[in-house]
């Protein structure tokens, strides 16, 4: 985790991560002060009328049952400091990331789903009391923000991963291989960085796989994960629309019963969530959907649907998802009966438009088309990303050469004419089954190879990381320092470095042994890392020497950083049981000058200044003289 935190600090330093801006950033910084008051925060909030309105709305909705709130001060008094900060961050991240360069990332769908999940989570938190409802709202709103972060940091590479349409658990492996992190890990780090409760950062990384979350049932952590898991599922179906909701309704009713919600309670909660989702979407300017009443959708469920969809035939080892498309109901009824009797699951569309939509929604493995516009359907089907590899059987009006050529040219894999026999249909479906099965096996093998490649890539990145890391201190090593300095030298004209040496380190080894000496090295490394700026790099350069790389730092800034390091070490003795060792460091500082031809000259200047610091009494900072090069 320490390695990831180091990587995360580098990502933060890049300035490309989603982050609060404007008034929200000012609020975030103010709330980190121990003595800040709500009146100070209110004064800052009033500078942003849009945020003021959203916070007033939040107070009225999230604190329902209290008197109506009309002023910023009243809203903040009701919400409290933590909730105000979190809501400001959430609204700011949303406002600043409505669109971006990642072509395969649907920014508006992401925020619409996140908002729906936030509303459902807040409502369930009010029932379960595992956290403050307003904090639960913000936590759920940002519970998948790592996806947005990857889309922002790596728009092209992440678009390639999203375009592969792989399951989310495999997607995380690919993310690890490409970026050394994944969206779940990034989400947790961002929530921690924005000072949301630690429980929220933990839940963000575990709510997708509830069974594998590792939390004990009955704990607040498990309760929050459970809420976010349910809210995420329901939000996904709300965004997808009525058909997706209806298909998942039996599962939702089962999950609701586990919450001790009967059908009426579930209907009331869901309808209220949709209403709030639509209201919030207008305020936050994200899309939502017009949906029927949940009672109507439940009433529309066919009571005998499980029996009529056809149970898998025990003699059929590989049942298929088959879509039937036709505009003659009698013919469709016969087809449905015969295909179901073979043990396959069947879905039906009765016109061209519905057939294409059903193909998108249900992802069939085999399609049988008896539409009068069959050629048009076949061509359109092959244009869909999900339709390129579907096995397609097309009915034609006559078994003529012209009809056959037209059907196959449009994309059919097999053709049939009417009247047909049940055995002929079964044979055609069996041929399609063999094709689909072979394709699934090839895809599985290909996926296995990709997983091996991804795992090798992760291993290679870890090996590369290890080669750049000093094993004793955990800091980047000399090799990293040289490469980083070379990069910064090309990137910027304003660059400084510090050469840092532990004073009288040899006496530590001589008096206390090399084991204590190693612990002192680690102790100093932790102090320096804690005192560094976000954009800086502290490296172990060799022995008791450290090199600090300070991008965008002039001589004055470099001296300030050096003095901060020196003071931090001097005020932090090494303790072990009864042993106390007072430690100091000498530091040589150097800044890039026009006369320097390479970064090696910068290191040499810092090293010369370090020698002067040692020579003049140690425990001090010396800036390289201009004449040095």
CA distances from residue 514 to 501, 505, 518 in whole angstroms, order as listed: 17, 10, 6
Q: What is the DSSP string of 279-328?
A: HHHHHHT--------HHHHHHTS-TTHHHHT-PPPTT-SS--EEEEEES-
Secondary structure in 3-state letters for 137-156? HHHHHCCCHHHHHHHHHCHH
Burial of 605 (0-12, 13-18, 19+ CB in 10 A): buried
Helix ranges restricted to H, 305-392: 305-308, 329-341, 352-362, 374-383
Residue 544 falls in the annotated catalytic set? yes
Tokens read off for 190? 């961002």
Of the residues 175, 180, 519, 544, which is catalytic?
A: 544
Cis amide bond preceding 477, omega within 30: no
Residue 122 CA to residue 62 CA, distance in Å, equals: 8
Residue count of the chain = 629
Tokens read off for 43? 């004064």
Do the Cβ atoms of 81 and 60 come closer than 8 Å?
A: no
Tokens read off for 33? 């002060």
CA distances from residue 519 to 506, 509, 576, 582 in whole angstroms, order as listed: 14, 11, 10, 14
Long-range contacts of 612-615 (CB under 8 A, 24+ apart): 612/588, 613/586, 613/587, 613/588, 614/501, 614/503, 614/586
Place of tokens 């397609």: 392
Active site residues: 544
């Amino acid at each position: 985790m320490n390695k990831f935190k180091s990587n995360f600090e580098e990502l933060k330093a890049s300035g490309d991560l989603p982050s609060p801006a404007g008034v929200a950033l000012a609020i975030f910084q103010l709330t980190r002060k121990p003595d800040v008051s709500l009146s100070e925060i209110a004064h800052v909030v009033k500078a942003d009328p849009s945020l003021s309105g959203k916070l007033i709305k939040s107070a009225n909705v999230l604190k329902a049952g209290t008197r109506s709130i009309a002023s910023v001060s009243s809203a903040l008094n009701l919400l409290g400091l933590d909730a105000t900060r979190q809501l400001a961050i959430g609204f700011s991240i949303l406002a600043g990331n409505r669109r971006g360069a990642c072509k395969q990332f649907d920014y508006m769908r992401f925020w619409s789903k996140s908002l729906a999940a936030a509303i459902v989570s807040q409502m369930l938190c009010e029932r379960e009391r595992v956290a403050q409802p307003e904090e639960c709202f913000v936590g759920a709103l940002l519970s998948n923000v790592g996806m947005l972060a990857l889309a922002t940091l790596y728009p092209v590479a992440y678009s390639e991963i999203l375009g592969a349409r792989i399951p989310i658990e495999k997607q995380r492996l690919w993310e690890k291989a490409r970026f050394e992190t994944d969206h779940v890990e990034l989400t947790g780090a961002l929530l921690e960085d924005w000072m949301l409760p630690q429980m929220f950062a933990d839940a963000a990384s575990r709510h997708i796989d509830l069974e594998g979350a590792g939390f004990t049932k009955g704990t607040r952590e498990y309760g929050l994960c459970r809420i976010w898991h349910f809210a995420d599922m329901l939000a996904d179906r709300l965004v997808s629309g009525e058909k997706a909701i209806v298909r998942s309704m039996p599962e939702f009713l089962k999950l609701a019963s586990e919450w001790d919600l009967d059908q009426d309670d579930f209907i009331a909660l869901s309808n209220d969530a949709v209403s709030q989702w639509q209201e919030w979407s207008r305020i936050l300017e994200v899309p939502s959907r017009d949906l029927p009443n949940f009672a109507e959708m439940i009433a529309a469920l066919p009571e005998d649907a499980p029996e009529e969809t056809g149970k898998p035939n025990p003699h059929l080892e590989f049942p298929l998802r088959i879509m039937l498309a036709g505009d003659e109901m009698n013919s469709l009824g016969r087809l449905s009966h015969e295909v179901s009797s073979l043990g396959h699951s069947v879905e039906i569309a009765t016109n061209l438009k519905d057939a294409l939509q059903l193909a998108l929604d249900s992802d069939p493995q085999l399609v049988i088309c008896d539409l009068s516009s069959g050629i048009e359907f076949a061509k359109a089907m092959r244009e869909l990303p999900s339709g390129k590899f579907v096995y397609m059987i097309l009915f034609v009006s006559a078994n003529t050469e012209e009809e056959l050529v037209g059907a196959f040219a449009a994309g059919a894999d097999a053709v049939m004419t009417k009247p047909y026999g049940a055995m002929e249909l079964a044979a055609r479906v069996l041929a399609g089954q063999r094709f689909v099965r072979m394709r699934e096996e090839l895809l599985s093998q290909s996926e296995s190879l990709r997983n091996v490649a991804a795992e090798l890539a992760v291993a290679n990145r870890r090996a590369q990381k290890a080669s750049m890391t000093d094993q004793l201190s955990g800091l980047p090593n000399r090799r990293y320092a040289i490469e980083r300095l070379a990069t910064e030298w090309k990137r910027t004209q304003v660059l400084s470095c510090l050469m840092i040496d532990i004073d009288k380190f040899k006496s530590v080894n001589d008096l206390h042994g090399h084991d204590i000496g190693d612990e002192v090295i680690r102790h100093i490394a932790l102090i320096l890392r804690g005192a560094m700026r976000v954009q800086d790099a502290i490296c172990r350069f060799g022995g008791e020497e450290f090199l600090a790389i300070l991008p965008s730092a002039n001589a004055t800034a470099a001296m300030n950083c050096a003095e901060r390091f020196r003071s931090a070490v001097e005020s932090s003795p090494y303790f072990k049981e009864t042993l106390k060792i007072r430690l100091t460091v000498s530091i040589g500082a150097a800044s890039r000058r026009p006369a320097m031809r390479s970064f090696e000259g910068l290191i040499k200047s810092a090293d010369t200044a370090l020698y002067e610091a040692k020579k003049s009494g140690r425990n001090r900072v010396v800036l390289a003289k201009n004449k040095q090069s």
